[in-house]
Structure 1
Amino acid sequence: MKSYEYYLFDADGTLIDTTELIYQCFSNTLKTYAKRRIDRQEVIRNIGLPLRRQLECYLGTLSEDEAKRISSYHMEYQLGIYTNFLKPFPGIIDALRNLKSAGKRLAVVTSRMPDSLELYLRHTRLLEFFDALVTPASTSKHKPNPEPALKALELLEGAPEKALMVGDATFDIECGARAGADTAFVAWSHHPLASLTVSPTYILHSPSELHKKIKNAEKE
């Protein structure tokens, strides 16, 4: 891996392990609004999409009022249970600390809304490492569109050719690639490599591997 000046990280499934939290929340929401059970793999496939798009995958097209009401119910439940499930992936803190000590600029590029993102990053002690946060509230278009990655680079005052987008879903890899950045797919989450529609520049199998590659790149 070469050295980069700017690092853009997805949040859910990349920095923080939220899979069980997300599954529990959708299980509760669909039990309430659709009277059905949901398969864990259904949920995993759609992690990375904005919440409304995820809800519409299971409930069909929603009106503005329906989307607002169901999203509010969903997030209220999530905020009541997140401390039972939320944790950073092992090795992530070391990787981020190494980047910051090397003078790199970091951003989160996520489909999670700003209130819960900041709360969860603070809870997992990751917030301090980031210079910018890009959420669906930051842009009019969302992953896999390149606009979120380009917005992050604008905030970091960086160029795509000096940036690496790191994520666990095809939405992340496509977003970064379409923005002109190199990309790294993280295989420590639940999305299989076969699910990608765009080939990443790198494949990383653990946060510790990311940490080692970053350290080695900075020595070259």
Structure 2
Amino acid sequence: MTYDAVIFDNDGVLTEPTLLEVQREAVRRAFAEFDVDPTTEAIDGVIHGGLTRLRRICSVHEVSVDEFWPRHETHAAEIQLECLENGTKPLYDDVRALDELDRPLGLVSNNQHATIQHILDVYDMADHFEVAYGRDPTVEGARVKKPNPHYIERAMDRLGVERALYVGDSNVDVVAANRAGIDSAFVRRPHRDGYTLAAEPTYELDSLDELLAVC
């Protein structure tokens, strides 16, 4: 298949995933601004539970979700920047394969937009991508993250393409690509060993190096 562009997820595809404890610390820092000391269960609910659970947790602690969430996004971006700078959120070695792809590249991540900008700056990768989107630091930005195809479609519009390949490492990536009406490539990194796919990707890869044959 010939694609007009290749669009990448970030965490687990270009950089190693952010450690759970780092994500938890961002939640703690945000709640601390409201003098709240949440349980680990509540913290993990914020990270993994979606907007409905986030609203419920904020309600229990009498914190406005619209005030809490932007603070969380700021802390999450700041602490991940620390990880980028101290080497605990490195690039995968096979990211070098991007140099061989002779078509426009995009980046669409569920991570904060500020974090994506930090990654491009720290690893001097901005020139690789014609468009790069992370989620906006608002409740609405979180609502339209993958598996919603909003940011993928936004990137495709910006690139001016209809036939794109989306490269990810999770079910939400495959589903978001399906909803955007484009093909998907699932990269089975070591952290996805034994991971069950709920939707069938167009391709399953062991490395980004295999993209050269796909494209």
| TM-score normalised over the length of structure 2 | 0.75
Aligned residues: 198
The answer to whether the Cα contact below 8 Å between 1:26 and 1:74 also exists between their aligned partners in 2 is no
**Structure-2 separation of matches of 1:195 and 1:34:** 35
**Structure 2: 5+ residue runs without aligned partners?**
none
Pairing 1:5–2:4 present: yes
Q: What displacement does 1:116 show? A: 2.0
Residue in 2 that maps onto 1:173 = 174
1:55-204 aligned at under 5 Å gives the runs 56=54, 59=57, 63-84=65-86, 85-92=88-95, 94-99=96-101, 102=102, 104-137=103-136, 141-159=144-162, 162-188=163-189, 190-191=191-192, 194-204=195-205
Secondary structure at the aligned position of 1:135 is classed as strand
The answer to whether the Cα contact below 8 Å between 1:176 and 1:183 also exists between their aligned partners in 2 is yes
Q: 1:67 is aligned with what amino acid?
A: W
1:4-83 aligned at under 5 Å gives the runs 4-20=3-19, 23-27=21-25, 29-30=27-28, 33-37=36-40, 46=48, 53=51, 56=54, 59=57, 63-83=65-85
- Identity fraction in percent: 23
**Structure-1 separation of matches of 2:53 and 2:89:** 21
Which shows bigger deviation, 119-128 or 145-154?
Answer: 119-128
Secondary structure at the aligned position of 1:112 is classed as strand
Q: What displacement does 1:195 show? A: 4.2
Pairing 1:215–2:212 present: yes
| TM-score normalised over the length of structure 1 | 0.74
Change (3 A) 1:74 1:166: closer
**Structure-1 separation of matches of 2:172 and 2:18:** 16
Q: What displacement does 1:205 show? A: 1.6
**Structure-2 separation of matches of 1:191 and 1:198:** 15
Change (3 A) 1:150 1:29: closer
Secondary structure at the aligned position of 2:105 is classed as strand
Which deviations, in whole Å up to 9, do the C-alpha atoms of 1:107-159 show, x marking residues without a partner? Answer: 00112222221111221232221011123239772211122211111111101
What root-mean-square deviation, in Å, do the aligned CA atoms of Structure 1 and Structure 2 show?
A: 3.3
